[in-house]
Structure 1
Amino acid sequence: MPRPTGWVEITRDDVLREQMSDVKLKSGRRCIVVAGTLNDPYTGKTIHFAKADASAVQIDHIAPLAYVWRLGANTWTQAQRNAYANDTATVLLAVDGPANEAKGDSGPSQWMPANKAFACTYATKFTAVLVKYQLPVPLADKAALTRAFATC
């Protein structure tokens, strides 16, 4: 499914700087991340990020843009969509690229992280997003979140 129009996203470098360790910046440019280490929450792997293989680490919207669009974000103003798309405190997470691609625009009933130790945290983060943005929880996703909370 194509991404809904009208979203403006924060630069990935901002999120990478915040969420990776051993960050190396481009010489003379304090804002461009060229390398770093990510302890990937979705897979449990340690990823040694290099700009040459940028797709290895992607920035995930914990509740995907198309998912929240279907839950009611389609009625939001442009400012509300921008706030959601750029919310580094609640919505954005640096993760393993292939895991993020596998997730796509799925909710918890269709996709959960392979790293079972992260299931509780993922469910907590996903729920926090829906609460903060006053979005409903579909029944199938509520059941999947409840199962994940049982691992806490």
Structure 2
Amino acid sequence: MSLTYSAYQRARRRSRQAWAIILLGAATIVAALTWFFLSGQFAVSEPAVSGPVDAPVFNPAWMKPLPGASAVAPAKALDALERLRVKGKAPQTGYDRTQFGQAWLDVDRNGCDTRNDILRRDLSAVVFAEGSSCKVAAGDFMEPYTGLRVSFRRGQDTSASVQIDHVVALSNAWQTGAQQLTPQQRQTLANDPLNLLAADGPANVKKGAGDAATWLPANKNFRCHYVARQISVKTAYNLWVTPAEKDAMKRILGSCPDQQTIYSRR
């Protein structure tokens, strides 16, 4: 009987040892995975922020007002929407990017081109290229269309991951009244900080020339601001909305009826 009890004790010890080895191995795996994901070996995006999201327009410390840009008065976006003309889209005939001037000019004459102005405005922890006070080399921001934290690094293979989006696409503007603007007014529209946002490259490509009826940000917390910004741009440049576009805007603003127009306070 003593032999049986002794064998039982040895079996129990071996069992405890086996379980200890298993638990130690599991802890090691968990620790390794934690290090892998949090140490930068694998980029983990932050989840979308909760609550309404806003976005900047103008920083008077280093941006200058554009000559000829129309002011947008503070008002409820829904009221401003009701004041916009409602028409079908005009033909796209004659549209070309050059109708809005050369891309990314230094229109406000602050010494920096528009793309770098917007990167500097929208990104945090901005790093400039060596020897430059304009050329943005790196930065981070909470990207508005996805709601995820995105890093920008200038380079042949990385710059396109963050693009500068025209909130009202230039092709859409052309079909909703910009054909009647002067070349100078169109150039201002294409470079107006009100109409520009740093955005996730793939999301911007997916948007294309879509209006609110065909594309909205995946980040639902940003949709009220986004629609109000489109309304503000169309107000500033006397553009119209299509019936479907207006219906989509009203649907979005129905969840935020006190949303204001977006204006720069410049």
TM-score, normalised with respect to structure 1: 0.94
Consecutive unaligned residues in structure 1, runs of 5 or more: none
Structure 1 runs (4+) deviating above 6 angstroms are: none
Q: Count residues in correspondence.
A: 151
| CA apart distance, 1:5 | 2.7
Q: Secondary structure at the match of 1:6?
A: helix
> RMSD over aligned Cα, in angstroms?
1.4
One-letter amino acid matched to 1:5: T
2:131 is equivalent to residue 32 of structure 1: no
2:195 is equivalent to residue 87 of structure 1: no
Is residue 21–residue 36 contact of structure 1 (8 Å, CA) maintained in 2? yes
- Out of 100, 104, 119, which is 1:7 matched to? 100
Identity %: 40
Deviations 1:84-124 (A, max 9, x none): 01101x11111111111000001100000000011111111
Stretch of structure 1 that moved more, 108-117 or 73-82: 73-82
Q: Which position in structure 2 is the counterpart of 1:56? A: 161
- Higher alpha-carbon Rg: 2
| CA apart distance, 1:3 | 4.0
| CA apart distance, 1:75 | 2.1
Q: Distance in 1 between matches of 2:180 and 2:240?
A: 14
Q: Secondary structure at the match of 2:197?
A: strand
| CA apart distance, 1:150 | 1.8
| CA apart distance, 1:44 | 0.3
Is residue 57–residue 94 contact of structure 1 (8 Å, CA) maintained in 2? yes
TM-score, normalised with respect to structure 2: 0.55
One-letter amino acid matched to 1:117: N
Q: Which position in structure 2 is the counterpart of 1:146? A: 250
Q: Distance in 2 between matches of 1:146 and 1:56?
A: 31
Q: Secondary structure at the match of 2:139?
A: strand
Consecutive unaligned residues in structure 2, runs of 5 or more: 1-91, 105-113, 257-266
